[in-house]
Amino acid sequence: MSHAQVKSRVFLQWAGLLLCVAAYEIVSILIDKPAFPDVTRILRGLISFIGDRKFVWPSFGYTVARWFIAWILCGMTAVVLGAILGYFADAYRLASGVLDFLRSLPATLLATFSTAAFGIGEISMLFPTAYVVFFTVIFYVAKHGQFVDKTRIQHLRRLHAPFRFILTHAILPDYASGIMTALQQSLSLSFLIQVSSELILGSAGNRGIGNVLYDFKDYSHFDALLASILILGIVGYAANIAFRVLQERLFPWLELPLQPIRSQ
C-alpha cells in the first residue's frame, strides 16, 4: 500500500468518525431525552471517567484481568484439544455436532447457572467468558484441521523426526490460519460476554466495570454511561489491533479469512 493510499485511508476513517459524531448530535437534539446527552456532555463524562482513579480504573482492571485470564487459559487449552480433534477425521465427525451446539448456546444466560453452581465469586464471573472462548476456539481449530494436508506430518513421523521439529515445521504452519482466526474471533466476543456477565450478576465484591455501568444507569448518569461504553469500545478495538500486530509479527505470510460468528 502506497503512502498516498495510507493517507487516503486514514482520512476516510476520520471522516467517517466525524460523520457518526455529527449524526449522533442531530439525533440527540431531535429526541431531546436524558438518555441521549449531547456530545459535549459525553466528553465531560469521558474526562470524569478517565480521571476517576479510585473507583472506575480499579473496577476496569478487574474486568480486563478476568477477560485476559479466561481468554489465555481457555484459548490455549482449546487450541491444543482442537488440533488433536481435527487431526483425526472420525473423532471430529463424532464431536462436531456437539461442539457446534455447545458454541451456539447464549453464554450470557449461563451466568445464572454459574451463580447457582459456584456462588457469587470470581469463578462465576469467569465461567461464561471461559465457556465462550473454549467452545469458539475448539470448534474453529478442529474444523480447520479437516482441511489440513496431513501427509507432511505423517511423513515426518515415519522418519522419526523429533516432536518439536514436527510441531514447528509442520503442525504450526498448517494450523496457524485456523488457530489465529479462532483466537481473533473469541477475543472481542469474550470481552462482550465478560462485561455482560458483570451487568447481569453484579460483580463479586462490587469489582468490575459491569458493576460501574449498572450504577451509572441507576443514578441516571447517562453521560458517564455513554462515555464508559465508548471506552469499552476503544479497548475492544485496541485489543483487535494488538492481536493483528502480533499475528503479523508471528506469521507475516498469514492472511486471516473473515468468518461469521454466532451472536451470544
10-residue block means of pLDDT along the chain (264 residues)?
71 84 85 79 75 69 87 94 89 90 84 78 84 93 84 81 81 83 89 84 64 64 75 84 85 58 44
Place of cell 458493576: 211
- The end-to-end CA distance of the chain, in Å, is 36
The pLDDT score that the predictor gives to residue 263 is: 41
The pLDDT score that the predictor gives to residue 168 is: 79
The pLDDT score that the predictor gives to residue 78 is: 94
Question: What global pTM score does this model have?
Answer: 0.78
Query: CA–CA separation, 130 vs 180, rounded Å?
Result: 18
The pLDDT score that the predictor gives to residue 173 is: 80
The pLDDT score that the predictor gives to residue 259 is: 47
The pLDDT score that the predictor gives to residue 140 is: 92
The pLDDT score that the predictor gives to residue 258 is: 44
The pLDDT score that the predictor gives to residue 227 is: 77
The CATH homologous superfamily for domain 41-250 is MetI-like (1.10.3720.10)
The pLDDT score that the predictor gives to residue 55 is: 62
The pLDDT score that the predictor gives to residue 74 is: 94
The pLDDT score that the predictor gives to residue 123 is: 82
The pLDDT score that the predictor gives to residue 141 is: 92
Which residue ranges make up each domain of the chain? 1-32, 41-250
